[in-house]
Amino acid sequence: MTHTVQQTAAEAFRSRPLTPLQRVQRVLHRHPAISPLVVLIGAVIVFALINDRFLQPANLSLILQQVSIIGALAVGQTLIVLTAGIDLSVGAIMIFVAMVMGTLAGEAGVPGVLAFLVGMVVGALAGLLNGVLVSVWKLPPFIVTLGTLGIFTALALLMSGGRAIRGDQLGGFLTWTSTTFAVGPFQLTVGVVLVLVLYAVGAYALSQTAWGRHVYAVGDDPAAARLAGIRTTRVLLSVYITAGVIFALSAWVLIGRVGAATTNSAVDANLDSITAVVIGGTSLFGGRGGLIGTLIGALIVGVFRNGLALARVDVLWQTLAIGVLIIAAVSLDQWIRRAGAQR
């Protein structure tokens, strides 16, 4: 009976002292949005000091409009990355859907709302295609979406024949996302608001619904999620279809922002959406991160490009800076993950 108050070995191990660095690691591990937020605030301060035009409402409004397309795509990309996937076809799906909407409304004379709805269905089907290949056929997401990147890019080009469909041919509904309105000193567009709504709804679904828990669980450890009683294939399919719908909504934002349906815009969107997700602290290994981080990540990309441009830094240096950011973000993620491994 002398042993009753002794700790077990496991308990002693648990209560070992931590160094300050380990504490930081643990905090970041629990709240992955903190590190990108620090980067964003730091960047805003630096760019505001370099150029006093940076913080003016007109410029901040411009940044929001500039990041709206990548920001929209990054919502769907985040869902997919949370399941330990990756989608290289996001931009291709968006442009393909934009051409479907544009061709129907601008050339076939279909009412804008109907063209929009057809576009949404096409986006969902594109997501379904990726989802079936990944979750049912169990192919690696990287390879699947590399393939569908080619397929949808080609389909969009075949459909457009190289021509752009101008905004005045598209009708009011499809270009409604370009409508601007003032909120205090800021000029917002309907497209920007739509993107913010996407973030709000997505963040709610991820944090407050059972579906959100399941997305994290499947990305974290699919075998464990299955043993816990989660229909993993269904969750994956739902993620890819939802993402497809989001990419179709991104097409609507794109048409408004460009003022036309064209295959020549947003060609870098695939990689930029991944950049926003990664900088935002969502782990490419799945199961960790979220939309708040991605929103911050997209804003970081926008702030860097805009701020460096205002500081008259060459576009190539902007690209280089973003590249450095990506590697820094992934390194940080690895370091934070070690907190999990060391326990």
Partner 1 sequence: MREQQRPVLSARGLVKTYGAVVAIDGVDLDLYAGEVLAVIGDNGAGKSTLIKCLTGAEVPDVGTIRVDGNEVRFRRPQDAQEVGIETVYQQLSLAPALDIASNVFLGRERRRPGILGSVFRMLDHAGMRKEAAEKVDSLGIRTLQDITQVVETLSGGQRQAVAVARATAFGSRVVVLDEPTAALGVRETSQVLDVIRELKARGLGVILISHNMPNVFEVADRIQIQRLGRRAGVITPESHTPAEAVAIMTGAVTVDDEEETGDEA
Q: Give residues in contact with partner 1 (CB under 8 A).
A: 3-4, 8-11, 13-15, 26, 29-30, 208-211, 213-214, 216-217, 220-221, 223-231, 287-288, 339-340, 343
**What is the sign of the dihedral through the CA atoms of 241, 128, 297 and 207?**
positive
Element housing 132 (H / E): none
Of 19 and 312, the one with the shorter C-beta distance to partner 1 is 19
- C-beta of 286: minimal distance to partner 1 in Å? 9
User: Residue 210 or 316: which CB sits closer to partner 1?
Assistant: 210
How far the first Cα of the chain sits from its last, in Å, is: 31
Choice between 166 and 213, CB closer to partner 1? 213
Cβ of residue 16: shortest distance to partner 1, in angstroms?
Answer: 11
CA distance linking residue 294 with residue 70, whole number of Å:
10
Question: How far apart are CB 214 and partner 1 at their closest, in Å?
Answer: 8
CA angle (167 as vertex; 251, 189 as ends), nearest 5: 60
Note whether 53 and 310 are within 8 A (CB): yes
CB of 10 vs partner 1, minimal distance in Å: 4
| Rounded Cα distance, 251 and 14, in Å | 50
Q: Phi-psi category of 36—alpha, beta or left, where left has phi over 0 and alpha has psi -120 to 50?
A: alpha
Nearest to partner 1 of 103, 232 (CB atom): 232
Nearer to partner 1 by Cβ, of 169 and 233: the residue is 233
The minimum distance between CB 167 and partner 1, in angstroms, equals 36
State the chain's maximal CA–CA distance in angstroms: 88
* Smallest separation, CB 75 to partner 1 (Å): 18
133 to 129, 130, 165: CA distances (angstroms): 6, 5, 32
C-alpha distances out from residue 70 to 128, 207, 269, 302, Å: 21, 22, 6, 9
Name the minimum Å distance from CB 19 to partner 1. 16
Nearer to partner 1, 224 or 328 (CB): 224
By C-beta, is 290 or 297 nearer to partner 1? 290
